[in-house]
């Protein structure tokens, strides 16, 4: 039996996925394949790099603090101006700043290229120019790609994460080779297909969709977040039924770019996981008759 986990996009809400990984670890469930979209890609990349959870949670909060201090999401980059050198495209936040923040974290743990990760990893992005799904893959020899996917396996991990996190209209798209890459959530918010392409026989899908009515329709940012959430939710519904375990963490009062609420999302994740303990037990390998007989487990 092999277990794959698919972490959906959700900006700061993806911090709630950390307690999911913690709950799986406590149950003794090892993850054999990781896939993550947008901020879920960052969480998946950290986990696939072999970082312990007691390291990952403080690291995630440290990155959040850096984003706050540098006011990354509150100040438009001058590089969006038409006359600027190295003009950014499709967003007002310079995504290169995000890559600059996360790259040293991977480097510190001996990870530069996506191929350096300890556990097979897949990260989706979308080429704005052609509309093709670009999949960054750490172990291409294990990955059975769909014929329409473009697979890239030789790339800096920080760039792959940045590309998948390039939220449309907000974070600038990433020029890479002949592509202009944007958020993987545009086509694949829940990358369940990617862990299945690795051959996972048991799968976990993690989403963060609201389960209450929306009321902040007079505020542009929460409204934009709500629209994207509805679009992502519709796509997720098409695939989530295939997962052996589906965990949804409904963060109704937190939107994608609520930087500063990371600890709140982690707490919410911890609370919701109390409801999923029994579901996780379906992922625990039960010994066969022969294994019991010969004391092989």
CA nearest neighbour of 11 among 272, 251, 275? 251
Catalytic machinery residues = 38, 183
Containing H/E element for 115? Answer: none
Tokens of 112: 């530069």
49 CB burial (10 A radius; 0-12, 13-18, 19+): buried
Cα 215 from chain centre: 27
288 CB burial (10 A radius; 0-12, 13-18, 19+): exposed
Pairing of strands 121-127, 33-36: parallel
CB atoms within 10 A of CB 187: 17
């Amino acid at each position: 039996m092999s277990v794959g986990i698919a972490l959906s996009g959700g900006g700061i809400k993806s911090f709630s996925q950390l307690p999911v990984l913690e709950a799986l670890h406590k149950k003794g469930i090892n993850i054999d394949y990781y896939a993550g979209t947008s901020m879920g890609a960052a969480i998946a990349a950290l986990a696939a790099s072999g970082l312990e959870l007691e390291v990952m949670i403080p690291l995630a909060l440290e990155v959040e603090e850096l984003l706050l201090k540098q006011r990354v999401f509150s100040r438009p980059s001058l590089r969006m101006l038409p006359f600027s050198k190295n003009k950014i495209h499709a967003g007002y936040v310079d995504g290169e700043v995000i890559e600059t923040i996360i790259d040293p974290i991977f480097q510190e743990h001996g990870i530069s290229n996506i191929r350096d990760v300890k556990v097979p990893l897949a990260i989706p992005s979308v080429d704005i120019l052609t509309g093709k799904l670009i999949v960054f893959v750490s172990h291409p020899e294990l990955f059975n790609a769909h014929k329409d996917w473009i697979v890239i396996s030789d790339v800096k991990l920080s760039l792959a994460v940045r590309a998948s996190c390039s939220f449309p209209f907000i974070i600038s798209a990433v020029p890479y080779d002949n592509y202009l890459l944007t958020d993987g959530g545009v086509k694949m918010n829940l990358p369940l297909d990617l862990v299945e392409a690795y051959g996972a026989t048991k799968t976990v899908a993690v989403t963060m969709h609201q389960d209450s009515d929306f009321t902040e329709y007079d505020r542009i940012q929460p409204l934009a977040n709500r629209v994207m959430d509805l679009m992502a939710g519709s796509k997720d519904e098409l695939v989530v039924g295939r997962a052996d375990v589906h965990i949804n963490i409904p963060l109704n009062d937190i939107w994608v770019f609520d930087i500063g609420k990371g600890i709140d999302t982690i707490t919410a994740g911890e609370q919701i996981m109390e409801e999923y303990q029994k579901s996780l037990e379906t992922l625990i390998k039960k010994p066969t008759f022969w294994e019991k007989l010969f004391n092989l487990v």
